[in-house]
Amino acid sequence: MLSKPTECRLWCASLVPCTLAPMHDPIAYLKSTIRDIPDFPQPGVLFRDITPLLGSPRSLALSIELMANPFRGRMVDLVVGAESRGFIFGTAVAQAISSGFQIVRKPGKLPFGKVSTTYQLEYGSGTLEMHIDAVAPGQRIVICDDVLATGGTMRACIDLVRQLGGVIVGVAVLIEIEGLKGRDKLSDVDVHSVLKYD
């Protein structure tokens, strides 16, 4: 174990180097702050609870930096986040890369003119919406969420942004559940995930 803190080569929102160490393996560290909840929300499901990560300044800062870093210097105009945990990570990533932020919401939540898309869920379908002026044609967009699972929500977000003329620079998620093969639905975009689980 390290005897003294070492500098983590990341830049926080304050634009000064942050010390997040001692830390040999930042990925293992972040995983240690995620709580496994078996049989939630139904039997046989292992739920990855990120609330301990969000409650730790060190792990929250590190997770945002690792999500944001691939998109620094890539002229991103807006980060888009889906209801609801995409709001948490998307807003923070937008601030970290000095871009704006826009929201994707479930039906009935947006007061202005909207575009919408319907996508398939395991049992039934879902609909997501954006304001018609949320994205201007040609704007460069990163889409953020907490988890990439089956890929349905992220695919819908991509389709909404493209309806409005946005250009997808990439997708950033904190967690990817690789066994659910959500990445297969996103083969036309650059997908960056920080933590991978089977």
| Residue 7 bears catalytic tag | no
Catalytic member of 48, 58, 105, 122: 122
| Residue 122 bears catalytic tag | yes
Catalytic member of 7, 48, 65, 85: 85
73-197 has which fold? Answer: Rossmann fold (3.40.50)
> What are the counts of helices (DSSP H) followed by strands (DSSP E) for the chain?
5, 9
According to the model, what pLDDT value does residue 122 have? 66
Backbone angles phi, psi at 74, to 5 degrees: -110, 20
Amino acid occupying residue 50 = I
Q: What is the pLDDT of residues 118-176, one digit of tens each?
A: 998 766 789 999 999 999 999 999 999 999 999 999 999 999 999 999 999 999 999 99
Amino acid occupying residue 192 = H
| Residue-level pLDDT, tens digit, the chain, 198 residues | 333 333 444 444 444 344 444 468 999 999 999 999 999 999 999 999 999 999 999 999 999 999 999 999 999 999 999 999 999 999 999 999 999 999 999 999 999 999 999 998 766 789 999 999 999 999 999 999 999 999 999 999 999 999 999 999 999 999 999 999 999 999 999 999 999 999
> Rounded to whole angstroms, how far apart are CA atoms 71 and 62?
15
Backbone angles phi, psi at 192, to 5 degrees: -120, 120
